[in-house]
Amino acid sequence: MDSPSVRSRAISSALRLGVRPLLQYLPGHTTGLRTARSTVDAASLLMRPHPGVRIEGLDERQEEDGEERQVRGEWVAPRDAAEGRRPRGAVLYLHGGGYVACSPRTHRPMTSRLAHDTGLPVLALRYRLAPEHPFPAPLEDAVAAYRWLLARGVPASRIVIAGDSAGGHLAAVLAGEICRLELPNPAGITLFSPWVDLTCELSIQAQERARDPYISAASARRIARLVVGPAGFDDPRLALLTCAWTDMPPVLIQVGGAEVLRTEAEAFAEALREAGGDCELQVWNGQMHVFQILNRVLPEAGEAMDHAARFIQSVTGKPKGRTKAA
């Protein structure tokens, strides 16, 4: 990818000086995390969603093996989509935030852009967060959301699972769980700056040469311990790099060239390809972690979202035509 724009370099510098020091010392207890969550939610009000969508709250129940699970989040649909009509396809979006913060609201700049550009509705899931709800609670919620889409007549061949950062990890784990449960495969997987290795071994090795503006391997490892809880890292579903990735749908991975998680994304892409999968890895030169969320500000972020929309359209068979933001 081309050299980062002046605007991109300026924002990265501001984050490196102002945000990274705060995240480095983010408290690892519930009270501190609640404060961080409130701060992030308040900041998200400054980031407007795409005007070409409508957003509806979602609070439904999905029966699963005789047990009811709650499916909560937002239904983000193109403004001109017919209301009440069963969607012919959808994107299931799993937000980032280290499994401990953020929500569908914080990621509206991404979910609304995907809905507008692809013409498909986006189910932005509000999954349970750690440390109150450690893994596998988020995965249970993601499986319930996927089943909910299938139960409402959305064909798996027109569903794309997408996620960023920890949500990217969850999206990949969900794809593996879908296979294990013998559910129909989705059309594709889209991962933005995925947090692949929760043990953080690869990111610790990459820390010295990475120029990540606000994510450090040390803070990621500290948060990971909250995510896994007392069970630790023994659950094999957490280890994306050692799973047998057979019969995977096409995968698009986008990662910033400056971020500490780049090495993880590259290793995951290689693992998918070695398993015979179709994986496109895009490394965006000089970009930070989940830079795509700034798609209304950064030209690189807008271009990356265009690429993602075209990928989603290609794997779902959705006619192309909406790939530029208004």
* DSSP code per residue over 89-127: -EEEEE--STTTS--TTTTHHHHHHHHHHHS--EEEE--
Question: CA-CA distances (angstroms) from residue 260 to 12, 15, 220, 221?
Answer: 14, 15, 10, 12
- Encoded amino acid at 26, one letter: L
**Tokens matching residue 88:** 């012919």
For the chain, the C-alpha Rg in angstroms (whole number) is 18
Q: Looking at 44, 165, 203, 216, which residue is catalytic?
A: 165
Beta bridge partners of 142: none
**Tokens matching residue 165:** 């950062």
**CA separation for the pair 253, 277 (Å, rounded):** 13
> Is 165 tagged catalytic?
yes
Q: Which residues are catalytic?
A: 165
